[in-house]
């Protein structure tokens, strides 16, 4: 796909590959699979300047607004090599994009320098115990009191909680109005009434928790965008970041394909390398073809966004759906090619096999993507 990219984007890709090899790989080795966010890795990302990709030009980006092609390029390369770094990188964007997209000038002036420098790490709290796919069902409330908003409620599945510093939180400001009664707020760790919550234990280690708000006072100015426009804010955020989930899937699938090719060449059975068996070659061929199709869908969506198109709902849903489902199949086949060695704990393909699973669930399940795509086709 390199022919699609601008010179500076090719350089960005090379920069990320070098960063992974020289600085991040040793830290990834040290951290391993961890439920705790590594500050050391966050600091390396901050020093590298990659977080500047998430802010407008005024605050240090080289493009007027965040470029989706650049973010996808970085996420793919990090997912291929450095999973802890990849999660921190994307949460910095996902957690802060509502501010960049819809925040007041005052809010942007306060938070954009912190996003760009990595001085603070951001995340997003949308999901609740009774509200996952059905965002309109959230029960967390924000009630206006003098010059404050007072938040009460329970969140769940907040990536990087409780380690992240700043949380973009969605709450009901008009509980009778469903999705039309939701607003977004910026909440800082340490504020009274905000407990960043207990850690959760997933099948593949992922720093993630369940924050709680008990009479948490938030300054009025920390409302992001217009009152009761939070659903729109979250959907525009997902529009942008869903393609990047596809990019992460592509990176993970590429890692699995590389492992499979290398293993197939070096594993001998029946007097020859298993790569010489046509059934193994057919598997590799299907894996590579699906991977290329995934990458094309991801960068197609990203390219369209970077042309200034406001909403890319259809393109990003297709990219996320196809790339995450394909990556799951590709990684499964890579494990199959490894035979019994593929299921040994600590094998790279074994870790990928567990890690890929969540991508078909978060930022909209595959079923929800199909629903979005189907609805848009029927509306057209």
Ligand X SMILES: Cc1cc2nc3c(=O)[nH]c(=O)nc-3n(C[C@H](O)[C@H](O)[C@H](O)COP(=O)(O)OP(=O)(O)OC[C@H]3O[C@@H](n4cnc5c(N)ncnc54)[C@H](O)[C@@H]3O)c2cc1C
Nearer to ligand X by Cβ, of 12 and 91: the residue is: 91
Among 197, 368, 369, 372, binds ligand X (CB under 6 A): 368
Shortest CB 215 distance to ligand X, Å: 21
Shortest CB 162 distance to ligand X, Å: 12
Task: Show Cβ contacts of residue 206 under 8 Å, excluding neighbours closer than 6 positions.
Answer: 35, 87, 159, 358
Nearer to ligand X by Cβ, of 158 and 316: the residue is: 158
Nearer to ligand X by Cβ, of 156 and 223: the residue is: 156
Instruction: Give the count of beta carbons closer than 10 Å to the beta carbon of residue 274.
Output: 19
Chain residues 134-163 in contact with ligand X, contact rule CB under 6 A: 157-159
Q: How far is CA 24 from CA 18, 175, 244, in A?
A: 9, 45, 20
Tell me which of 28, 290, 333, 363 is the catalytic residue. Answer: 363
Shortest CB 370 distance to ligand X, Å: 8
Residues touching ligand X: how many (CB under 6 A)?
A: 22
3-state secondary structure 215-240: EEEEEHHHEECCCCCHHHHHHHHHHH
Shortest CB 280 distance to ligand X, Å: 32
Query: Phi and psi at residue 185, in whole multiples of 5°?
Result: -135, 150
Contact stretch for ligand X (CB under 6 A) within 201-209, 225-233, 241-249, 296-304: 201-209
Three-class SS state of 77 = helix
43-70 burial, b for 16+ CB within 10 Å, e for fewer? ebbbebbbbbbbbbeebbbeeebbbbbb
Contact stretch for ligand X (CB under 6 A) within 26-34, 104-112, 289-297, 355-363: 355-363
Q: CA 327, CA 287: separation in Å to the nearest integer?
A: 9
Q: CA 76, CA 215: separation in Å to the nearest integer?
A: 40
Shortest CB 351 distance to ligand X, Å: 15
Nearer to ligand X by Cβ, of 241 and 263: the residue is: 241
Shortest CB 363 distance to ligand X, Å: 6
Q: Is 14 a catalytic residue?
A: no
Query: Phi and psi at residue 148, in whole multiples of 5°?
Result: -135, 160
Question: What mask of x and - would describe binding to ligand X in positions 312 to 351, judged by CB under 6 A?
Answer: ----------------------------------------
Q: CA 267, CA 132: separation in Å to the nearest integer?
A: 44
CB 233 within 8 A of CB 101: yes
Tokens coding 50: 């990659």
Q: CA 355, CA 203: separation in Å to the nearest integer?
A: 8
96 touches ligand X (CB under 6 A): no
Chain residues 45-74 in contact with ligand X, contact rule CB under 6 A: none
Three-class SS state of 191 = coil
Characterize the bridge pairing of strands 122-125 and 166-172: parallel
CB 245 within 8 A of CB 320: yes
Shortest CB 16 distance to ligand X, Å: 22
Question: What mask of x and - would describe binding to ligand X in positions 116 to 135, judged by CB under 6 A?
Answer: -------xxxxx----xx--
Contact stretch for ligand X (CB under 6 A) within 20-28, 136-144, 202-210, 297-305: 202-210
In the complex, the residues that contact ligand X under the rule CB under 6 A are 123-127, 132-133, 157-159, 202, 206, 208, 358, 361-365, 367-368, 371
Active site residues: 363
């Amino acid at each position: 796909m390199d022919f699609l990219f601008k010179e500076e984007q090719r350089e960005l890709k090379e920069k990320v590959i070098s960063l992974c090899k020289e600085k991040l790989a040793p830290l990834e080795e040290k951290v391993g699979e961890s439920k705790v966010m590594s500050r050391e890795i966050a600091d390396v990302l901050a020093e590298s300047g990659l977080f500047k990709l998430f802010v407008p030009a005024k605050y240090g980006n080289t493009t007027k607004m965040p470029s989706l092609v650049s973010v996808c390029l970085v996420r793919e390369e990090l997912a291929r090599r450095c999973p802890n770094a990849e999660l921190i990188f994307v949460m910095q964007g996902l957690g802060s994009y509502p501010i960049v997209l819809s925040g007041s000038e005052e809010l942007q002036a306060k938070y954009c320098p912190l996003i760009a420098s990595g001085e603070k790490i951001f995340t997003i709290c949308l999901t609740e115990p009774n509200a996952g796919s059905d965002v309109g069902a959230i029960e967390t409330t924000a009630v206006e009191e003098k010059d404050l908003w007072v938040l009460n409620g329970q969140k769940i599945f907040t990536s990087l909680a409780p380690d992240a510093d700043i949380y973009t939180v969605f709450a009901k400001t008009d509980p009778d109005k469903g999705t039309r009664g939701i607003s977004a707020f910026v909440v800082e760790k340490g504020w009274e009434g905000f407990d960043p919550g207990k850690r959760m234990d997933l099948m593949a280690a992922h720093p993630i928790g369940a924050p709680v708000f008990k009479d948490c006072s938030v300054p009025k100015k920390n409302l992001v965008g217009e009152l009761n426009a939070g659903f729109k804010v979250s959907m525009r955020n997902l529009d942008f970041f869903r393609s990047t989930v596809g990019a992460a899937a592509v990176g993970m699938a590429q890692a699995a394909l590389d492992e499979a090719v290398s293993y197939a060449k070096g594993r001998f059975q029946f007097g020859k390398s298993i790569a010489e068996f046509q059934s193994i070659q057919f598997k590799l061929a299907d894996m590579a073809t699906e991977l290329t199709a995934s990458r094309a869908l991801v960068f197609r969506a990203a390219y369209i966004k970077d042309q200034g198109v406001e909403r890319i709902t259809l393109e990003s849903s297709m990219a996320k759906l196809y790339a995450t489902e394909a990556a799951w199949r590709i990684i499964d086949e890579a494990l199959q090619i490894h035979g019994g060695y593929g299921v040994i704990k600590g094998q790279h393909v074994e870790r990928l096999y567990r890690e890929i699973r969540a991508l078909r669930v978060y930022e909209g399940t595959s079923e929800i993507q199909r629903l979005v795509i189907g609805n848009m086709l029927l509306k057209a």
